[in-house]
Amino acid sequence: MKPIPIILDTDIGTDIDDMWALAMLLGRPELDPKLILTCCGDTEYRANLTAKFLATAGRTDIPVGLGISDPASEELNFKFQEPWLSDFDPTQYEGKIINDGIGYFVDLIKGSEESIAIISIGAATNIAEALELEPSIAEKCRFVGMHGSFDIGYGGRPGAVAETNVRLDVPAFRKIISAKWQEITITPLDTCGLVILEGERYKSLFQCNQPGIAALLENYKIFSELVTWMDVDYFDEHSTTLFDAVAVYLVYGRDLLDIKPMSINVDNEGFTFQDPNGCTVNVAYKWRNLDGFYDHLLESLLNI
């Protein structure tokens, strides 16, 4: 089967789960990444972090693009992995770093003879801007996003919350769910918020001698010591919540989750909810086999 062309839109460099998702993506033969686009806050920092990780993993063939930057925004500019970049010189990077990432994004889709899958694991600001520039790109793409919360919030606690990727840019998310994609699927906190790699699976990563895994764990260690919104005193025992990895899986796999079409909407505070007058979206609302996903995730990571 021919690999699926994909574009990853990511706020890598705030929560460590984006780097786990990128590592997973690189380990999947079903996927053919055409662009990594960085979103939210200081997108140059995020692009440099992506570029160094790609170089470490031997994948400088994948272009990196800068999306809309807002370096003055305090909430969007946590840089918990910045120490890892102390020895990185982007002018010496062997791959391609594109300043106008959104323009490249639009041209890539318009010029593709194949359908492209967009994986969105940050606020949808970049993608909404691309749709504003060229609405027709939706008709050539599938959209898969890590967005929303319906019955479960952060930490697996019951009750909906204003999920961060939606809350940070509500108008952008509204634009996304109303666009004319070939297909749109999201993993809300109800499913992606339950994913933590632990036990023997997690420990096996420390025994792996692949540079990409070593870089992932090095970044996780740095993040664990600098992150301010939680205490990560469990680096040796398990991962943080790996929200974004589920969105990567949904591009090519569906068997491990229950997915159903829902008519949804979002309020001004960023709460997603079912609404008969809303937009129809496929929602991965429940796990069928979370344990199986952990095996799948580990297989992917060990393959980078």
**Helix boundaries (H) for the chain:** 17-26, 43-56, 101-111, 125-133, 164-167, 170-178, 189-192, 199-205, 211-226, 243-250, 290-301
Tell me what pLDDT residue 304 has. Answer: 92
Distance CA 134, CA 88 (A): 35
Domain 4-301 has CATH 3.90.245.10: yes
Is the predicted pLDDT of residue 292 greater than 90, yes or no?
Answer: yes
**How high is the mean pLDDT of the chain?**
97
User: How many CA atoms are closer than 13 Å to the CA of 258, on its beta-carbon side?
Assistant: 6
The continuous run of DSSP H or E covering 39 comes out as none
Both tokens of residue 72?
A: 């003055």
Q: Is 163:149 a contact under the CB 8 Å cutoff?
A: yes
* Per-residue pLDDT at 72 exceeds 90: no
Q: Which three-class secondary structure state does DSSP give residue 58?
A: coil
Return the structure tokens found at 121: 């694991």
Cα torsion angle, 285, 290, 292, 294, sign: positive
Q: pLDDT at residue 74 above 70? A: no
Confidence tier at 77 by pLDDT (50, 70, 90): confident
Which of the four pLDDT bands, split at 50, 70 and 90, describes residue 70? confident
Three-class SS of residue 290?
helix
Check residue 64 and give its pLDDT.
98
SS3 127: helix
Q: Which amino acid is at 226?
A: L
- Minimal CA–CA distance to 50: which of 90, 103, 77? 90
pTM of the model: 0.97
